[in-house]
Amino acid sequence: MSARGETAIRFDAIHKRYPDGAVALDGLSLTVPRGQFCVILGPSGAGKSTLLRMVNGLAIPSAGYIEVEGERIGPRTLPRLRRRIGMIHQQFNLVPRASVAANVIAGALPAVSMLRALTGLFPAELRARACALIADVGLEETHLRRRADALSGGQQQRVGIARAFMLDPAIILADEPVASLDPRTSRDILTLIAREARSRGSTVLCSLHQIDLARAFADRIVALSAGRIIFDGPPEALDRAAIANIYGEIGEPGPVAIPERMAAAG
């Protein structure tokens, strides 16, 4: 277990019951050290998204608490802590009609004044950073003014990654970031997330359905079932017996259907 100062995220006895009675997390405790690429596996409905969404306050625990970089999440600390957290979504969550540049710079919104946010007058430093990130994630200068919805799925996720890293986040939450991408693009996207995170020392909490990708990219794999941790170890420890235990009778999840549009181009 790492010392307090080296802990990025700590979940302490977290319960989550949604208003309709669904129990998503059931007494979960987990400590994620700084700089770790921690993959969350588990069957559908196991609680992976809920766990991730709690770190930036999109879901609130019914009991228990979460610390981010040693600070407990609460109404007073959340706005400040959110500036330290970037999120990458399964469906990219871009503004479809806005340009690539506008989508990337939107990652800085938590750190700019309301006036700047409303007028879109971002400081030159942020605009320069957005341009640098767009290049870092492998997009071309010609993409800057393109509408986000004119890009392939892989390219859209590159925009999502650039946006997530705009404020040099301590923590990246990636909620099934490659669920709708073909296998090759999935590897490219996870390579990019890992590279950008490593270069900044960012901690990554990433939910995945693909066991091979979890093994390839994770420093540590945590598997959930019905809101509890049922596996926690290095990728090498995820053997057939562990997988059978996580996914029960159904074994490994089958290949994810790839929408034609996204399979066509990374």
| Residues at the interface with ligand ATP (CB under 6 A) | 18, 20, 22, 24, 42, 44-50
Q: Please, which residue, 48 or 84, has the CB nearer to ligand ATP?
A: 48
Spatial CA neighbour of 157 closest among 96, 204, 88, 207: 88
Q: Please, which residue, 46 or 166, has the CB nearer to ligand ATP?
A: 46
Report d(CA 141, CA 50) in Å as an integer: 36
CB of 210 to ligand ATP, least distance (A): 12
CB of 174 to ligand ATP, least distance (A): 12
Task: Tell me the three state secondary structure of residue 13.
Answer: strand
Q: Please, which residue, 201 or 253, has the CB nearer to ligand ATP?
A: 253
- Reading phi first (left if > 0) and then psi (alpha if -120 to 50, else beta), residue 177 is in alpha
Cα atoms in the Cβ-side hemisphere of radius 13 Å centred on 6: 6
CA-based radius of gyration for the chain: 18
CB of 62 to ligand ATP, least distance (A): 12
Beta strands in 55-154 (DSSP E): 63-68, 71-72, 85-88
Judge whether 58 and 50 are in contact, CB under 8 Å.
no
* Amino acid identity at 196: E
Q: Please, which residue, 45 or 235, has the CB nearer to ligand ATP?
A: 45
CB of 32 to ligand ATP, least distance (A): 17
Q: What's 210's DSSP letter?
A: -
CB of 253 to ligand ATP, least distance (A): 9
Q: What angle do CA 15, 241, 252 make, to 5 degrees?
A: 75
Strand order in the sheet with 171-175: 85-88, 171-175, 203-207, 37-41, 220-225, 228-233
CB of 179 to ligand ATP, least distance (A): 8
CB of 208 to ligand ATP, least distance (A): 9
**Pairing state of beta strands 220-225 and 228-233?**
antiparallel
